[in-house]
Amino acid sequence: MRRHRAARIVSTLGPSSSTPERIRALYEAGTDVFRLNFSHGTHAEQKARYDIVRGLEAEFGHPAGIIMDLQGPKIRVGAFTDGSVQLVEGAAFHLDGDSGEMGSAARASITNPEIFPSLEAGAPLLLDDGKIRLRVIEAGADFVDTEVEVGGVLSDSKGVNIPGALLALSALTKKDRRDLQFGLELGADWVALSFVQRPEDVAEARKLIGGRAGVLVKLEKPLAIEHLDQIVELADAVMVARGDLGVEAPPEDVPGLQKKIIAKARDEGKPVIVATQMLESMIGSPTPTRAEASDVATAVFDGADAVMLSAETAAGDYPVEAVAMMDRIIRRVEGDGHYQVTRGFDRRGDSGSDADAITAAARTVAHAVRAAAIVTFTTTGSTTLRASRVRPDAPILALTPELATARRLVLAWGVHPVHTADVTDFSEMVEKATFIAKAEGFAKPGQRLVVTAGLPFGTPGATNVLRIIWVS
């Protein structure tokens, strides 16, 4: 199914969006990539959702991307006797690792007691997305004593954030490793890594994944931003995960960090997603706030490849309406004259390589001849990602013999991937490019296509040919 916009929409599946009818409606409303959140739900539930998406893929004859999002080492408090407690400013509050004892207004357990040695006196602890603030008084090997600075109601399993501390935690928990094995066997296209702190976390995950899926790094800790260059280089794609990032970093810093991450991902030619609270009011309302609409538009103006819906589609009352609204916002931005002007100034990817030179030339030529599309022949996806990085005026039609590559490319800005047999010579290249461009609704007789490929055909990573062809 062709989308008449360049930026992509990622929708999270959950209790509100698990039936074949609802997932179909999300797809038809504009969802390009589906997210399976492994923080919630059983393996059986995730497989059922996966199978429905793959069924739609087969029905519509177009690749669909699937992200498996690992829970990661999210630190949480344990359970309380009455389900919640009231923490009062100035009171003492003890944390330990005894998950067998119910919590009270004086103490609670946490899920990751191994972090205690990483804490120092005076360090802040943020509970329930920063609504409650504690200050460390004393930390030992198996406990931490704190004082409540900002009180409130604390309920079961709320999150704990520790800004600025390098925690003794692996990016992959035992649960993550079980989930990862399951998701890779299932056939997920992307693995999203949560709470990455260091480049070493990404390298560890890459080794385990072994090329069976793309590595999508969620940037949600300020410490990760300190290593942004190395992390983006190791990743295949990145996500600006503003939920936890906005807890651990000052809220006023998040917009600038968003722009910084997007710019770095663009420089490296890695797809970048902006996520969290984008249309949050649509969890319970059929329309967003004006601020939320502006937030989505800003991400598109900033150059994001994709924007993501979380609880809006997973647990909200209006999941299909949220996707449709995001689709309309994106299309309105991309039709705006200011967006088109700024996109023209914001070109990336001039590394001096032959492949980048061919890609830049393809963009320029496509604009000059008003090409109906840029057609890329690719095996690994690198040729197509180069084309996406320079943000051409024409849509990008990616032809690949690898189904896994086609599915991953759904996430990239402006790309319409098609799974097809590889070509062996120029005449076949011209014939296939013309046929598919017409069949997919990108070109009509009399229009022109700009084609990039690598010689010899089928050689990964070798973009060295540019050709203009007439559609007959």
Active-site annotation holds for 42: no
Distance CA 444, CA 446 (A): 6
The upper half-sphere exposure of residue 78, i.e. CA atoms within 13 Å in the direction of its Cβ, equals: 21
pLDDT score, position 221: 87
Could you tell me which residues come within 8 angstroms of residue 420 by beta carbon, excluding any fewer than 6 positions away? 399, 400, 401, 432, 436
Active-site option among 12, 276, 383, 452: 276
CATH of domain 75-161: 2.40.33.10
CA dist 393 to 207, 339, 369, 398, 456, Å?
37, 12, 11, 15, 28
Q: Assess whether 376 carries a catalytic annotation.
A: no
Question: 8-73+171-336 in CATH: which number?
Answer: 3.20.20.60
Contact indicator for 374, 366 with CB cutoff of 8 Å: yes
pLDDT for 163: 85
From the number of C-beta atoms within 10 Å of its C-beta (0-12, 13-18, 19+), residue 345 rates as exposed
Query: For the whole model, what pTM was predicted?
Result: 0.92
Q: Compute the distance between CA of residue 295 and CA of residue 467 in angstroms, rounded to an integer.
A: 39
Q: Does 380 qualify as catalytic in the annotation?
A: no
Which of the residues 3, 8, 24, 35 is marked catalytic?
A: 35
Phi/psi for 289 (5° steps) reads -75, 160
Catalytic residue among 24, 49, 158, 218: 218
pLDDT score recorded for residue 340: 80
**pLDDT score recorded for residue 461:** 62
Q: What is the pLDDT along the chain (472 residues), one digit of tens a residue?
A: 789 999 999 999 999 999 999 999 999 999 999 999 999 999 999 999 999 999 999 999 999 999 999 999 888 899 999 999 999 999 999 999 877 889 999 999 998 888 898 899 999 999 998 899 999 999 999 999 999 999 999 999 898 988 877 777 787 999 999 999 999 999 999 999 999 999 999 999 999 999 999 999 999 988 899 999 999 999 999 999 998 888 888 889 999 999 999 999 999 999 999 999 999 999 999 999 999 999 999 999 999 999 999 999 999 999 999 999 999 999 999 999 888 877 755 556 555 688 888 989 999 999 999 999 999 999 999 999 999 999 999 999 999 999 999 999 999 999 999 999 988 888 898 999 999 999 999 999 999 999 998 777 766 667 788 999 999 9
Distance from C-alpha of 6 to C-alpha of 336, rounded to nearest angstrom: 13
CATH topology of domain 354-470: Pyruvate Kinase; Chain: A, domain 1 (3.40.1380)
DSSP character string of 238-275: EEEEHHHHHHHS-GGGHHHHHHHHHHHHHHHT--EEEE
Q: Is 463 a catalytic residue?
A: no
Q: Where are the domains of the chain?
A: 8-73+171-336, 75-161, 354-470
DSSP state of 117: G
H runs (alpha helix) in 187-253 = 199-209, 222-226, 228-234, 242-248
- At residue 416's C-alpha, the angle toward residues 412 and 422, to 5°, is 105
Structure confidence at residue 459 (pLDDT) = 67
